[in-house]
Amino acid sequence: MQSNPLELTLCGIFLKNPVIAASGTFGFGHEYSEVMDISRLGGISGKGLTLNGSAGNKGMRVYETPSGMLNSIGLENPGVRHFVEHEAAYMRTLGPAVIANLGGHCEEDYLEGARLLNNADIDILELNISCPNVKAGGMAFGMLPDTAADITKKVKAVSKHPVMVKLSPNAPDLVAVARACEGAGADALSLVNTFLGMAIDVKKKRPVFENIYAGLSGPAILPIALRMVHQVAHAVNIPVVGMGGITSAEDALKFLMAGAVAVQVGTMTFADPNAMLSIIDGLAEYCAQEGLANLQEIVGII
Amino acid sequence: MQSNPLELTLCGIFLKNPVIAASGTFGFGHEYSEVMDISRLGGISGKGLTLNGSAGNKGMRVYETPSGMLNSIGLENPGVRHFVEHEAAYMRTLGPAVIANLGGHCEEDYLEGARLLNNADIDILELNISCPNVKAGGMAFGMLPDTAADITKKVKAVSKHPVMVKLSPNAPDLVAVARACEGAGADALSLVNTFLGMAIDVKKKRPVFENIYAGLSGPAILPIALRMVHQVAHAVNIPVVGMGGITSAEDALKFLMAGAVAVQVGTMTFADPNAMLSIIDGLAEYCAQEGLANLQEIVGII
Amino acid sequence: MAIIKSNSEIASAIWRMTVSGTPLGRAGQFFMLRVPGALDPLLGRPISICEIDAELGETTFVYQTVGRGTAQFARLLPGQEIEAQGPYGNGFPLKAGRAVLIGGGIGTAPMLQLAKELHASDPTRMIDVYLGFREEAYLEKSFEQYADSVTRNIGGYVVNDVDFSLDATYYACGPAPMLRAAASAADEASANLFVSLEKHMACGVGACLGCTCQTEHGRKRVCKDGPVFDYREVRDAI
Amino acid sequence: MAIIKSNSEIASAIWRMTVSGTPLGRAGQFFMLRVPGALDPLLGRPISICEIDAELGETTFVYQTVGRGTAQFARLLPGQEIEAQGPYGNGFPLKAGRAVLIGGGIGTAPMLQLAKELHASDPTRMIDVYLGFREEAYLEKSFEQYADSVTRNIGGYVVNDVDFSLDATYYACGPAPMLRAAASAADEASANLFVSLEKHMACGVGACLGCTCQTEHGRKRVCKDGPVFDYREVRDAI
Ligand SMILES: Cc1cc2nc3c(=O)[nH]c(=O)nc-3n(C[C@H](O)[C@H](O)[C@H](O)COP(=O)(O)OP(=O)(O)OC[C@H]3O[C@@H](n4cnc5c(N)ncnc54)[C@H](O)[C@@H]3O)c2cc1C
Ligand SMILES: Cc1cc2nc3c(=O)[nH]c(=O)nc-3n(C[C@H](O)[C@H](O)[C@H](O)COP(=O)(O)OP(=O)(O)OC[C@H]3O[C@@H](n4cnc5c(N)ncnc54)[C@H](O)[C@@H]3O)c2cc1C
Ligand SMILES: Cc1cc2nc3c(=O)[nH]c(=O)nc-3n(C[C@H](O)[C@H](O)[C@H](O)COP(=O)(O)O)c2cc1C
Ligand SMILES: Cc1cc2nc3c(=O)[nH]c(=O)nc-3n(C[C@H](O)[C@H](O)[C@H](O)COP(=O)(O)O)c2cc1C
Ligand code: FES
Ligand code: FES
C-alpha cells in the first residue's frame, strides 16, 4: 500500500498532513464545518482559552490593512472549563489533530488551565505566551527568555499533554526566547503570533482600536515571519510549526523549506475558507511531481 | 498674504511641505525629475552613501511580496566624494531640501564620510545605522542603544550639518535606541528603515537573495511602522520623521497624528511616480477642509 | 465563483450588481464578496442580498462605493468573475400579518428582497415601506410591485414618518442613529421590531469573533447569530 | 491612465492587449503596467511595446501569463483602465542597412515594432526575422508585412537557424540561454548584435538600482541604460 506522503508525527502525535488551522481563526471548528470539509485538515488549533473565559476587547476588533489585517479580539473565549466540558469532545469527532491554545493573565491562570486541560482528550497543548491583545499577561510572558522558560517549565511540569510554545514576533530576541523554551522542555514551538501594529482613523482623529495597538496578520507579514521561522528552526532541535500569511501551497512549501515541519493558516481562511484545502491538494501534487516519498524530506533544506 | 499651511522647520531647515522622498528610492533626483515635477517635494533624501562607494549586492535585488517588496540592493552607490563633487550641487538646484543619507561599514567610514559631507551644500545628514543589506556595519550600529549613541555622538562631533538618525525596526528595543540617540545629540530621528525578511524560490529550492535575508518595505509594513513611530515620537523630544508603506495623504496624516513632523515615501513612488505629489495635494486639501493654519497642529494628537 | 451579469451605477456612488452562480439565500442574509486572486483588498466585503431571481438563479446586490473594496467592485464588468461566499447570516424572520419596512440609505437594499418574500409568502398581507435618503432616492420603484405604500423621505428623519402603533411587525436596516430612533419609537409603542446590524467583519461565518456584540443573551456574533436581531436583544449594541 | 481597447488570448497563455491614451514610444522601450488602485500586486510589470499604431494612438502589448500580475492583466476587459507608465528604457537603435531580428518566445513581442520601424525608416532595407517557440507560434503572420523572410522554429534552437556572417545588424530578445547562444555566434562571426535584457524591476526609471548589471563601462541599469545593449558591453550580464 502507498503511504500518504503528507503525513508526519508532531510531538508524538500523528498528523495526516502538515496543515493546521491557526488558533483564533477557526473557533473550535463548528463554523467552518458548515462551509468546508474540515476533516481533511491535519490539525485544528482552537480559539485561545483563558482560565475563566473573557468577553474580549471593546470597540473595533478587526480592521483590514494592505494584504493583512489587525485584530484586537482580546481572547474572547468561553473559558477552559467550558472547553473541557463542551468543546474538546466535539473537536475530537472532527478528525484532525486537536490542539488546545492556552493563554493566561498570570502564572496561576496558565497552570490551573493546564491542569484542567489534563481532563480533556486533546493532542497538543499550544502554550500561547504571545497574544498582543490582552492587558495583563499574554505577550508579556513571551518577550524575554527567562519568563518564557519559566512558564514553559512550570506548564510542562503539570501538563500530561505535549506542549508546543507559541512565540511572539515582537520579542526583542526571538531566537533566545526559542532556545530558552527548548531548554525548559518545550516539545515544539509555533510561530509567529501577530505583530504589534497600529491603525488610526484619520476622520475621527483617533486610534482605531481601544487598546491603541493590535495584532497584524496575513500575507503582508509573510516575509518577516518566514525569516523568523528560518532563524528559529536553525537554532533549536525541537520541531517548529511555522505560520504568518500563508495563502497557498507554495507559501507553505517556503515555510517547510525554511525548517518548519508543519504550518498553520489563519487570516487566509477568512478571505477564502477553502484555502487550506487547496494548500493540502497543492502539497500532495508537489510530492507527486517531485517524487517525494514524504514531504518531510524538504523540511529545512534551506 | 496667506501663508503655506504645509510648511515646517525640521532641524532648523525650512521645508515647504512634509513630504520627503525616501533614501534609496529616488537616486539623487535625476531619474524622477524626468517623469514628475520633483520641485514640489518637501525634501529629497539621496541614495545611501558609503565612504568609498560600492557595487552593491550580487544576485536578485528586488522581489515583490504581498503589498510590499524585499530589496537587497546593498547600498550600491558612487561614494561620498563623488556625491560631494557631482551630486550635491545638482540636488540643490532642484528646490526641495537636500538630505544626504550616509551609511558605513565601520566607525571610521561614518566619520570620514561625515567630514567630507561638510564640504557639500546639503541641509541635513541622515545617519543610516539601519541598512539590513550590508554585511559589515549598517544595521549593526542601530541595533543597540550604546552603539547607536556612540556613533551618533561621534558623527555629531564632526558634522556641521544637522544630524537625523535613521532607525531600524529590527532593533530589539527601538525606543531605547531612539532615546539613546536623542541623548547623544541627534537633531532628529527618521524611521523606519526596512524590516528583515526572507523570500524563498520554491522551484529552485533556494533563498531568492544571495544574502538570504533582505529588507521589507511598502504598504504591508505600514501598521507596524506606524506603531513604532507612535512609540518613538512619544518617547523623545526631538522631531521624528515617519515612514513605512505610505501610499496616500490619508496614510501620511496617520503618521503625522502619531507624532511625526514629516514623512518619507519610498516604495509607493516605484508603484506610482506621482504618489508624493498626490499626497502633497491631499494634505493641502486636508488643511483647507479642516481649517488648519498649519498642518503641524495635528502632529502628535494621538 | 459567481459571474457578473450586470454592474452599473443607479445613483451617485450607488451600484447595482447582478451575479449568477451562487447559492440563493433569503432576505437579510449577505455574501462576502471579493475580487478573485488579489491579496489586497484581502478580506471579503459583506454585502446584503438585495433581490433574488430564483428562476434565473441570479442574485442582485446594491452597494455604495465607500472605500477601496467597493471601489474595486465598481470597476468590474459583466462577464468577469467575483467570489461570493455565502449566503451567511440568519436573515429576516417572516412574521405573519402586516409588515412595516424601514430602510435608511444603503440599508434600503436588503429591504427589497424582504418585501418580495413577505409578499410572496402572503400576497394579501399589508406591506408599508419607508425609505430615507440623504440626497437622492434609489430602488424606490422596485418596491411598488410588493408594497401597499412606499413613503420616501429625502434629507429628513425617516423614522419620524412611521406609525409604530400598528398591529404589525417592523423591520429596519440603516445607519445606527436611524436604528436607535426606531428602537426608541418601538419602545414607546411596544412594537415588534427587527433590526439588521453592521459590524466590521473578517470571516463572516462566526469564527474570528471580530463582530461580536453584547446582547441580553450574552455575546453574539453579528455575522452568524445575526445580522438580524430582535431589537430588544441588542439594544446596547445598536 | 490608459484605456483597454482589446485584450484576448492569441496562443496558450499568450495575450495581446491594445490600449489607448499613453504616450507613444519606440521599439525596445517598455511600459510599467499596473492595475489601478490595488496595492497588490503593488509594482508595475515591465512589458515591452509590441506594436504602435500612431494614427489611432494605440499601443499593443503581448504578454505571457506567468504569475499573479500578468494573470490579473488577463482578467481585464475592453473599456477598463490600466496604468501604463512610460515609455521607459532606451529602445533599439535603428542601424542602417540589412537587419536580422531574432525573437525567442515572448521575446518575439518587441521585435514586431522593431521590424515596423526598421521597415518604415528604410523600406528598401532587407529584414530577416527568426522566431523561436517552445510549442506554439504566435505573432508570426504580423511580421510578414515588414520582413523579407520570416523563419520559424518550434521546439529547437532558433539561433542555430541564423547566419551571423551577413553584413547586417543583429537584434535579439528572448530567454538568457538564447541570448548567450547569439552572443557566442556573434563573437565567432564578429557580428554586430544588440540584445534586450530582462531583470526584475521595481521602479523602471533607474532610481532603485534593483536591475543593475556589470558592464564593460561600469554598472548600468537595465531599465534606464537599457534594456537594449550592444552585447559586447554586457557579455557577463546575459
Ligand atoms: C451584514 C452586512 C451587510 C451589508 N450590506 C451592505 C449592502 O448591501 N450594501 C452596501 O453598500 N454595504 C453593505 N454593508 C457595508 C459594507 O460591507 C461596507 O460598506 C464595505 O465593507 C466597505 O468596504 P470598502 O472596502 O469599500 O471600505 P473600506 O472602508 O476601505 O473598508 C475597509 C474595511 O472596513 C470594513 N468596513 C468598512 N465599512 C464597513 C461597514 N459599514 N460594515 C462592515 N464593514 C465595514 C470593510 O469590510 C473592510 O474590511 C454591509 C455590512 C454588513 C456587516
Ligand atoms: C524590459 C522588460 C520587458 C519585458 N517585456 C515583456 C513582454 O513584452 N511580454 C511579457 O510577457 N513579458 C515581458 N517581460 C517580463 C515580464 O515583466 C514578467 O513576466 C512579469 O513581470 C511577470 O509578472 P507576474 O506578476 O505575472 O509574475 P510573478 O513571477 O508573480 O512576478 C513577481 C515579481 O517578479 C517580477 N518578474 C517576474 N518575472 C520577471 C521577468 N522575467 N522579468 C522581470 N521581472 C519579472 C515581476 O515584475 C514581479 O515584480 C519583460 C521584462 C522586462 C524586464
Ligand atoms: C482574529 C484573530 C484571532 C487570533 N486569536 C489567536 C488566539 O486566540 N491565540 C493565538 O495563539 N493566536 C491567535 N491569533 C494568531 C494566529 O493564530 C496566527 O498566529 C497569526 O494570525 C498569523 O498567521 P496568519 O497570518 O496565517 O493569520 C489570532 C489571529 C487572528 C487574525
Ligand atoms: C530599493 C530600496 C533601497 C533603499 N535604500 C536605502 C538607502 O540607501 N538608505 C536608507 O536609509 N534607506 C534605504 N531604503 C529604505 C527606505 O528609505 C525606507 O526607509 C523604507 O523603504 C520604508 O519606506 P517605504 O515603505 O515607503 O518604502 C531603501 C528602500 C528600498 C525599497
Ligand atoms: S466576522 Fe468573524 S465572527 Fe463575525
Ligand atoms: S528597476 Fe529601478 S533601477 Fe531599474
In this structure, are D112 and D75 located in the same domain?
A: no
Q: Tell me the angle at which helices A249-257 and A275-290 cross, rounded to the nearest 10 degrees.
A: 60
The C-alpha atoms of residue B238 and residue B187 are separated, in whole angstroms, by: 6
Residue A1 has pLDDT above 60, yes or no: no
Question: Do B62 and D202 make contact, defined as CB atoms within 8 angstroms?
Answer: yes
- Amino acid at residue number C79: G
- CB count within 10 Å of CB B172 equals 14
- Pairs of CB atoms within 8 A across A/C: 85
- Same domain? For D52 and D139 the reply is no
The sign of the dihedral angle between the CA atoms of A133, A138, A144, A145 is negative
- Give the dihedral of Cα atoms C205, A212, B247, B174; nearest 10 deg: -120
Is B31–D212 a contact, with Cβ atoms under 8 angstroms apart?
no
Q: What is the CA radius of gyration of chain A?
A: 18
pLDDT, mean of residues D17-39:
94
Pairing of strands D81-88, D30-34: antiparallel
Residue A136 has pLDDT above 80, yes or no: no
Contact residues for C87 (Cβ-Cβ < 8 A; gap 6+):
C22, C23, C24, C25, C26, C29, C30, C31, C49
Catalytic residue among A11, A106, A131, A181: A131
Local confidence pLDDT in tens for the 238 residues of chain C: 899 999 999 999 999 999 999 999 999 999 999 998 879 999 999 999 999 999 999 999 999 999 999 999 999 999 999 999 999 999 999 999 999 999 999 999 999 999 999 999 999 999 999 999 999 999 999 999 999 999 999 999 999 999 999 999 999 999 999 999 999 999 999 999 999 999 999 999 999 999 999 999 889 999 999 999 999 999 888 8
Which is nearest to A219 in space by CA: A285, A300, A275, A174?
A: A275
Residues C71, C109 within the same domain:
no
D61 and D142 in a single domain? The answer is no
User: Is B267 close to D39, i.e. CB distance below 8 A?
Assistant: no
| B145 in contact with A, Cβ within 8 Å | no
Asked if the Cβ–Cβ distance from B273 to D219 is below 8 Å, we say no
C8 domain residue, yes or no: yes
Q: Are residues D134 and D47 in the same domain?
A: no
Kindly state the percentage of chain B with pLDDT values over 70: 98
Burial class (CB in 10 A: 0-12, 13-18, 19+), B86: exposed
In tens, the pLDDT along A241-279 reads 999 999 999 999 999 999 999 999 999 999 999 999 999
pLDDT tens by residue, A152-168 = 999 999 999 999 999 99
**pLDDT given for residue A2 in this prediction:** 62
- Interchain CB distance below 8 Å, A224 and B196: yes
* CB-count exposure of residue A147 (10 Å: 0-12, 13-18, 19+): middle
Mean pLDDT of the region D31-60: 95
Asked if B63's CB is within 8 angstroms of D203's CB, the reply is no
CB-based burial of residue A198 (10 Å sphere; 0-12 exposed, 13-18 middle, 19+ buried)? buried
Q: Tell me, using a 6 A CB cutoff, whether residue B128 lines ligand 4.
A: yes
Domains: count for chain C: 2
- Could you tell me if C120 and C192 lie in one domain? yes
pLDDT digits (tens, 9 = 90+) for A191-233: 999 999 999 999 999 999 999 999 999 999 999 999 999 999 9
Pair type for strands A240-243 and A262-265: parallel
If pLDDT is split at 50, 70 and 90, which confidence band does D131 have?
very high
The whole domain housing D134 covers 99-196
DSSP state of D34: E
| Same domain, residue pair C103 and C83 | no
Contacts of D68 in chain C (CB under 8 A): 37-38
Q: pLDDT tier at B137 (50, 70, 90 boundaries)?
A: low
Give B61-112 pLDDT, tens digit per residue: 999 999 999 999 999 999 999 999 999 999 999 999 999 999 998 999 999 9
On whether the CB atoms of residues D70 and D26 are closer than 8 A, the answer is: no
**Which chain B residues are closer than 8 Å to D237 by Cβ?**
none
Instruction: Find the ligand nearest to D220 CA.
Output: 6
Residue D213 in contact with ligand 6 by CB distance below 6 A = no
Q: Taking a C-beta distance cutoff of 8 angstroms, is the pair A215, A72 a contact? A: yes
Atom of ligand 5 nearest to the CA of A31: 3
Please give the distance, rounded to the nearest whole angstrom, from the Cα atom of residue C211 to the centre of ligand 1.
Answer: 12
Question: What is the whole-number distance in angstroms between the Cα of residue C22 and the centre of ligand 3?
Answer: 29
Q: Are residues C67 and C104 in the same domain?
A: no
> In which band, very low, low, confident or very high, does the pLDDT at D23 lie, cut at 50, 70 and 90?
very high
D40 chain-A contacts, CB cut-off 8 A: 66-67, 219
Residue D123 neighbours by CB under 8 Å, 6+ apart? none
Cis peptide before B223 (omega within 30 of 0): no
Residue D226 within a domain: no
Domain boundary residue, one of D46, D66, D88 = D88
Contacts A223 to B, Cβ<8 Å: 65, 68, 70, 195, 197-199, 214, 216, 220
B206-226: pLDDT as tens digits = 999 999 999 999 999 999 999
Torsion sign over Cα B285, B291, B297, B300: negative
Determine, yes or no, domain membership for D65. Answer: yes
D237's CB contacts (< 8 A; 6+ apart) are D197, D213, D214, D215
Phi, psi of B192 (to 5 degrees): -110, 155
**Last-in-domain residue among C177, C196, C215:** C196
- What's residue B136's pLDDT? 63
Cell numbers of B213, please? Answer: 535575508
Yes or no: say if C186 and C177 are a contact pair by the CB < 8 Å rule: no
A131 is catalytic: yes
Task: Reduce the DSSP state of residue B265 to 3 states and report it.
Answer: strand
- D122 and D192 co-located in one domain: yes
Q: How many residues are recorded in chain A? A: 302
Residue D79 shares a structural domain with residue D108: no
Please tell me the distance in Å from D15's CA to the nearest CA on chain A: 25
Examine the pLDDT at D37 and tell me if it is beyond 90. Answer: no
Q: How far is CA C174 from CA C16, C149, C204, C238, in A?
A: 18, 19, 19, 11
Inspect the interface and report whether the beta carbons of C38 and D37 lie closer than 8 Å. no
Phi, psi of D150 (to 5 degrees): -125, 115
Tell me if D192 is assigned to some domain. yes
Asked if residues D108 and D131 have their Cβ atoms less than 8 Å apart, the reply is: yes
Percent of chain B with pLDDT over 90: 94
pLDDT band at B1 (very low <50, low <70, confident <90, very high): very low
How far off is chain D from A110, nearest CA to CA, in Å? 40
Q: Is B67 helix (H, G, I), strand (E, B) or coil?
A: coil
CB of residue D197 inside a 6 A radius of ligand 6: no
- What is the grid cell recorded at A128? 500561547
Inside any domain, residue C201: no
Cα C49–chain centre separation: 7
| D175 φ/ψ angles, rounded to the nearest 5 degrees | -65, 155
Give yes or no for a contact between B185 and B163, defined as CB atoms under 8 angstroms apart: yes
* Domain match, C75 and C140 both: no
Which phi and psi angles does A87 have, rounded to 5°?
A: -105, -35
Are D121 and D172 in a shared domain? yes
Asked if pLDDT for residue B130 goes beyond 90, the answer is no
Domain assignment present for C39:
yes
What are the respective helix, strand and coil percentages of chain B, to the nearest 5? 35, 20, 40
> For residue C119, how many other CB atoms are within 10 A of its CB?
18
Reported confidence tier of residue B139, pLDDT bands at 50, 70, 90 = confident
> Is it the case that residue D76 has pLDDT exceeding 70?
yes
B171 Cα: distance to centroid of ligand 4 (angstroms): 16
Residue ranges of D 76-105 with Cβ closer than 8 A to chain C: 77, 79-81
C68 lines ligand 1 (CB under 6 A): yes
C-alpha cell at A144: 524575554
Residues of D in contact with A221 (CB under 8 A): none
The Cα–Cα gap between C178 and C162 comes to 12
Test mutation, C39, C65, C82, chain D, max D CBs within 10 A: C39
Q: How far apart are CA B229 and CA A66, in angstroms?
A: 18
Q: At residue A120, does pLDDT exceed 60?
A: yes
Residue C211 domain flag:
no
Cα–ligand 4 centroid distance for A188 (angstroms) = 36
**D59: domain CATH number?**
2.40.30.10
The verdict on the CB of residue C226 being under 6 Å from ligand 1 is no
Whether residue C229 lies inside any domain: the answer is: no
CA separation for the pair B291, D132 (Å, rounded): 64
Provide the ipTM. Answer: 0.96
Residue nearest to atom 45 of ligand 2 (CA): D200
Can you tell me the distance from the alpha carbon of D156 to that of D168, in angstroms, rounded to the nearest whole number?
24
Residues with CB under 6 A from ligand 3: A 22-25, 47-48, 71, 73, 75, 101, 128, 131, 166, 193-194, 217-218, 221, 243-246, 265-268; C 208
- The predicted pLDDT at position B68 comes to 98
User: Which domains are seen in chain B, by residue range?
Assistant: 8-56+74-194+218-298 (3.20.20.70)
Overall size of chain D counted in residues: 238
Rounded Cα–Cα distance for residues B162 and B150 (Å): 17
- Burial degree of D143 (CB within 10 A; 0-12, 13-18, 19+): buried
pLDDT at position A137, please? 63
Task: Report yes or no: A282 at the B interface, CB cutoff 8 Å.
Answer: no
* Contact (CB<8Å) C39/D37: no
Proximal ligand: closest to the CA of D227: 2
Query: How many whole angstroms separate alpha carbon A239 and alpha carbon A218?
Result: 23
CA-nearest residue for atom 4, ligand 2, is: D47
* CATH number of the domain residue C172 falls in: 3.40.50.80
Confidence class for position A139, pLDDT limits 50, 70, 90 = confident
